[in-house]
Structure 1
C-alpha cells in the first residue's frame, strides 16, 4: 500500500512528537495508521514503550504484549493488581516512563486498561494521578476487531455491572482524563470512490438492502471450494475460524504433496519465548507449488510482510527456498531470525534487551487465512467465507483488505445479518465529538 505523506500525517506527527496530550489516533481501514506509527517510531523518545493487547499485534510493531510488559498473571484484576509482587526492574522502568503507545486498541479490554492505570499510579513518576502522569497514545479503529471476552466473563461487561462495555473507552480511568482524538480520513488502500463509500457504509452500519444486492450481484462466485477460483494463484480465502483456514491449506498441501517432495523445517528457538510470540509456524511443511505469505519485511526490499508467493523449489544444502512473486520475479529466501526483546533500563534510559530468538523460513501456507490474522494486510484478490463464529467488525475487516471491488469473490451472498457493527461503538462516537480531524 503506497502512502503519500499528506498534511494530516504531518499534523498528526507534530502532535505525537511535540504534544503532551493523551492521544487516540483512529481512522478507517487503509488510512495509514500503521504507517503513521512507524514514522513516529523513527523519532520516538527514549523513555517510551510500544505495547499491544495480543502477541500478533505486538510482533507487528516490534513491541511487547501488555501482559508481558507489566508481568500480569492469569486472573489479574483491577482489584488485585496492586497486591501482586512486581520485580524491582519493572518498577524502575515504569518510574522512568514518559509515554506508553498501545497499538490495536480496539482489542484492549476496559478492565485491562484499569489494571495498567492502577500499576502506573502506584509506580509512575506522578503517583496517584491517572496513568501515573505518563502520556498514553492509542492507535486503532474501534469498528474493527473487538476485545475477546470469554463466555464466563460477559456478566462483567453489561449495563449496571462493573463496566458498561468491554471496550477501553469504558475503563474507569477514562472518566478521569481527557484524550485528544485524531481521525485520519484519507484512504490509501482503495482508489475507487464507489468501493470506498460502500466500505464506509459497512463500517458504520448504514448499509441498505439495495447496497448489498448491488455488491452481491457483482461479486458472488458460487463455486465448490477447492475448484475454479479457489485455486487461482495469488488468491486468498479469508475465513472466520482457524479450523476453516487450516482445512483449506492442508487440503491443497496434500494434493500438491502427491506430486512433489515434501519439505519440513523446525524452528530454532533460543531462550524462553511464549508461543504467542512465535513469528512463523514452529513446524513448517511445504512443497513446490505451495502458495505462501511472507511474514517479514525484506532488508533488500524484495518483499514485505503480507506479500504472496508460489514456492518453486528448495535447496536443502544451501538452505534457500525459491519463491515466485506476483510480478513474475523469482527470489531466494533463507531462514530469518526474529529477535524477541523485552524492555530494560540502562543509565536512566529504557532500552530493548534481547530475551531470545526464533529462526524459521519467513513464510506460512496461505491459500487461506483467518480474518483476524489478515488485519493489517492488503490483498489484490480474495475470497470471503463467512461462518457462524462471527464477531462485529469482521465483514468490514475482511472486505477492506482488498484493493479493488473486482478483486473480491464471495462464496455466498452477504446478508444484512453479516453486517454487525456494535451499537455501543456507534453510541460512543455519537456522544464524543471529534476533537481534531486532520
Structure 2
C-alpha cells in the first residue's frame, strides 16, 4: 500500500498537453472513458481496449490516469501481471496490489484476506475510481476471477446489484495475440465448473469476460518510422508471413563463421559486446538464458562470488532431512523456490536482473537490469550482506537478501533468505512483453514453443535495423486461433466497421537452426557432466546424411555411440585433429558436411564398399581403432563346460564389445536390462557332450 501511494504521487505534469498528443484512435477512447467516469449517473464502465504492439496503450493509460488525478481528484489503480509490464506503466503487479495468492509452478486456491489486512487495503484504496489492468493476454481466466473476488471483498459489493469487480470502473488493456498465460486458460475462455469448485469452492459463476465491452486501437506509433517493418509485424501477429517477409528478416540474421557449437557461443558473446549497452538478448527459454549468461560471466576477469541461500525448514522434525536433501540438489528449479536460486554466481561488473519487486517508486521491480559495482560483506562471517548496483539511469541502489516462504512438499515449508537477482545478459521473451527497445538480439528459431512468441519478441524493437536474429524459423510464426475467433466476435458486436481477421494455415518451409547452445524442443537430453569438461551439451538427435544411400548400418551404429553420455565424454577428450572429434564437432553444430565415409574407413576399408554389412561387426572393428573407449565397453565372457560324468570343468575366456542376450521364452511381460542379464548368466546351460578323452586323461594324471 505504501508502494501504491508512492507511485500515485509521481503523476504530476501538463495533462492538457498530453491530451493534445493523443492520435485520433487514442482520443476517441479517451473521450469515451473520461465521459463514463465523469457522469455519476452512468453505468459502471467495463471496457477492454485492444491493439497490436506499439499502438500507444501505455501512453493512453498514463494520460487517463493524470486526467483523473487533476480533474476528478481521484486515484487510479494501475496493474499488470509482471513486474516489468507494471513498471512500464508506473503501476504495481496484480498479485501485489490485490494480495492474490501465489504458488510458484502451479495455480493457488483463492484465500480471503484477514480482517486486519482488509482494513488497511480498504483505507488505502477508498479513493480509487478506476482500475486499469494492462497486458491482459497474460492473465488467466482464474486470475480474472480472483481479481473480481478480491475487489468485491475490498469494496464489500458481494450482495450489490451489478457488484462485479467491486462495482468500480475497470479497463483491460492488451493484445490477445501476444503471449498467453503461463498456467491455465486465457481470460476469454469460460471457467469450467470443475475449476470453479477446485479453486474457489463454489458451484458456479458468471462468465466475467462477457461483462466487458470492446474497443480497439489501430494506429501503430512504435514502428511509425519504419512502415515496412510495421507491415511485417502486422502479418506475423495473425500468424501469416510472406516469402518477401522471410527474405527481409533473413538479412537481419547473425552470420556465424564458426562451425563448432561452443565456438559459436563465444562468437555470439563477441557480437553482443560490440552492440550498444542497452541491447537486450531475448530468448525463448530459461535454459538458453542460463547458457548465455554463464558464457558472458566467464568473460569477466574478476573473481567469482557465490551467493548461497540461507534456508530454514518449517516442518515436522522427521521431514527436515528429506526437505534439505531436496533443496541441495544441483538441478534445483528456481520456479519451485519462489524464483530465488539456492546458489547465484556473480562477479563485480556482471549485469544482473532483479527478480522481485523491491521498491516500485525507485524502479527496483521484477525485471530491472543493473550492473554490480561492489559488495558489502559481514565483519563476522565474511558472508555477502549487501550488493550495490547501478541501473541504466546512472542511479545506484543497494540490494539486500529477502525472506521468502515456499512449500517444498506437503506440509513442509522453507523460509529462504537470498538475493532476488539473476544474471541478465539473456532475458526470456515472456519477461519482455510490454517493453519498447531500440536494439535487441532475438532467438526466433526452432526453440520457439508458444503462439505469439515470435511476434512479441520482434515487436519489442522499434526498427528493423535494431533487430539482430540469432535464428529465424518461419514455421515458428503462429497465432492463437481461439484468440482470432474471439477478436472476430468482439469486432462483430462492438466494432462492425473493422474487418474480420482471416485464419490462414500456411505451409511454411522449416529452417533448421544454426546451433549455438541448446534446443528446448524435441530433444533427448544427454548431458555431459565431467570435471574436465566445463560445458554441458544437450544433443538434438537427428539422422546422419546418407550420402551413398547404403550407409544405414553405419548411421545407426555411430548414433548409438554418440548418444551414450559415457562414451561421448571420453570422445570429447580426444585431440581436435582426431577424425572422431572432428566428426562430433560437425554433428554438434548441425553441419551438413559430416564425413561418414571417413568414419567407415576408420573401421576398415571393407566398409567403404556399397553393400550392407553386419552392424555388430562394424561396431567391433570401429571400436578396435578407438583406443580410449575400448576399455570402457570391452567385456570379458567366461564360458565354463562341466562333464556330467566326472565333473571336470573347462573355462574359455572371450572378450568382446557387444553383449548378445537371449529373450526368455515367456514373453507375457516386459523385461528390464538387468532382468535379461540375470536370465542369461545366472544359471548353467547343459551341453550334450562329454569332456574329450585327451582332457579326461590329463585330469586323471593330475589325480594320480
Asked if 1:232 corresponds to 2:274, the answer is yes
Deviation of 1:421 after TM superposition, in Å, equals 0.5
Instruction: Decide which structure has greater helix share.
Output: 2
User: In the TM superposition, what are the counterparts of 1:215-294 in structure 2 within 5 Å?
Assistant: 215-222=249-256, 224-227=264-267, 228-233=270-275, 234=277, 235-256=279-300, 259-261=301-303, 285-288=346-349, 290-291=350-351
Aligned to 1:380, which of 438, 447, 453?
Answer: 438
Would the alpha carbon gap of residues 13 and 34 (structure 1) be closer, same or farther in structure 2, given more than 3 Å must change? same
For 1:276 and 1:375, the matched residues in 2 are separated by: 23
For 1:110 and 1:132, the matched residues in 2 are separated by: 18
Would the alpha carbon gap of residues 35 and 226 (structure 1) be closer, same or farther in structure 2, given more than 3 Å must change? farther
Would the alpha carbon gap of residues 132 and 255 (structure 1) be closer, same or farther in structure 2, given more than 3 Å must change? closer
Aligned to 1:65, which of 82, 94, 103?
Answer: 94
1:206 corresponding residue in structure 2: 240
Higher relative contact order (CA 8 A, sep 6+): 1
Would the alpha carbon gap of residues 104 and 335 (structure 1) be closer, same or farther in structure 2, given more than 3 Å must change? same
| Unaligned ranges ≥5, structure 1 | 164-169, 268-273, 338-357
Moved more, 405-414 or 420-429: 405-414
2:176 aligns to what SS in structure 1? coil
Deviation of 1:189 after TM superposition, in Å, equals 4.6
Would the alpha carbon gap of residues 57 and 430 (structure 1) be closer, same or farther in structure 2, given more than 3 Å must change? same
Asked if 1:412 corresponds to 2:471, the answer is yes
For 1:40 and 1:336, the matched residues in 2 are separated by: 33
For 1:89 and 1:437, the matched residues in 2 are separated by: 50
Larger Rg over CA atoms: 2
Would the alpha carbon gap of residues 244 and 76 (structure 1) be closer, same or farther in structure 2, given more than 3 Å must change? closer
2:287 aligns to what SS in structure 1? helix
Deviation of 1:101 after TM superposition, in Å, equals 1.9
2:693 corresponding residue in structure 1: none
Deviation of 1:105 after TM superposition, in Å, equals 0.8
Deviation of 1:394 after TM superposition, in Å, equals 0.9
For 2:144 and 2:371, the matched residues in 1 are separated by: 42
User: In the TM superposition, what are the counterparts of 1:171-190 in structure 2 within 5 Å?
Assistant: 172-175=207-210, 177-183=211-217, 185-189=219-223
Would the alpha carbon gap of residues 314 and 393 (structure 1) be closer, same or farther in structure 2, given more than 3 Å must change? same
For 2:298 and 2:139, the matched residues in 1 are separated by: 38
Deviation of 1:261 after TM superposition, in Å, equals 4.6
Asked if 1:424 corresponds to 2:487, the answer is no
User: In the TM superposition, what are the counterparts of 1:279-318 in structure 2 within 5 Å?
Assistant: 285-288=346-349, 290-291=350-351
Deviation of 1:236 after TM superposition, in Å, equals 3.1
Deviation of 1:119 after TM superposition, in Å, equals 5.3
Deviation of 1:108 after TM superposition, in Å, equals 1.4
TM normalised by structure 2 equals 0.45
Would the alpha carbon gap of residues 437 and 378 (structure 1) be closer, same or farther in structure 2, given more than 3 Å must change? farther
Moved more, 290-299 or 193-202: 290-299
1:213 aligns to what SS in structure 2? helix
1:134-189 Cα distance to aligned partner (Å, 9 max, x none): 22111212121111226xx89x96999879xxxxxx971233x2424242523225
Contact in 1 for aligned 2:65/2:76 (Cα 8 Å): no
1:398 corresponding residue in structure 2: 457
TM normalised by structure 1 equals 0.68
2:78 corresponding residue in structure 1: 50
Would the alpha carbon gap of residues 181 and 222 (structure 1) be closer, same or farther in structure 2, given more than 3 Å must change? same
Aligned to 2:133, which of 83, 90, 102?
Answer: 102
For 2:367 and 2:101, the matched residues in 1 are separated by: 31
Deviation of 1:22 after TM superposition, in Å, equals 1.5
1:411 aligns to what SS in structure 2? strand
1:301-359 Cα distance to aligned partner (Å, 9 max, x none): 9xx99898877x65979x86678x7xxxx95634379xxxxxxxxxxxxxxxxxxxx99
1:173-209 Cα distance to aligned partner (Å, 9 max, x none): 233x242424252322551100110011111223224
Aligned to 1:88, which of 115, 128, 132?
Answer: 115
Asked if 1:124 corresponds to 2:183, the answer is no
For 2:181 and 2:65, the matched residues in 1 are separated by: 25
Deviation of 1:249 after TM superposition, in Å, equals 1.1
Aligned to 1:335, which of 368, 386, 398?
Answer: 398
Contact in 1 for aligned 2:179/2:430 (Cα 8 Å): yes
For 1:322 and 1:115, the matched residues in 2 are separated by: 37
For 2:62 and 2:352, the matched residues in 1 are separated by: 25
2:145 corresponding residue in structure 1: 114
Deviation of 1:64 after TM superposition, in Å, equals 3.9
2:256 aligns to what SS in structure 1? coil
For 1:374 and 1:39, the matched residues in 2 are separated by: 23
1:226 aligns to what SS in structure 2? helix
Deviation of 1:427 after TM superposition, in Å, equals 0.9
Contact in 2 for aligned 1:183/1:437 (Cα 8 Å): no
For 1:37 and 1:407, the matched residues in 2 are separated by: 26
Contact in 2 for aligned 1:56/1:277 (Cα 8 Å): no
1:219 aligns to what SS in structure 2? coil
| Unaligned ranges ≥5, structure 2 | 1-17, 38-44, 196-204, 258-263, 310-334, 378-386, 401-416, 499-704
2:79 aligns to what SS in structure 1? strand
1:31 corresponding residue in structure 2: 55
For 2:361 and 2:118, the matched residues in 1 are separated by: 36
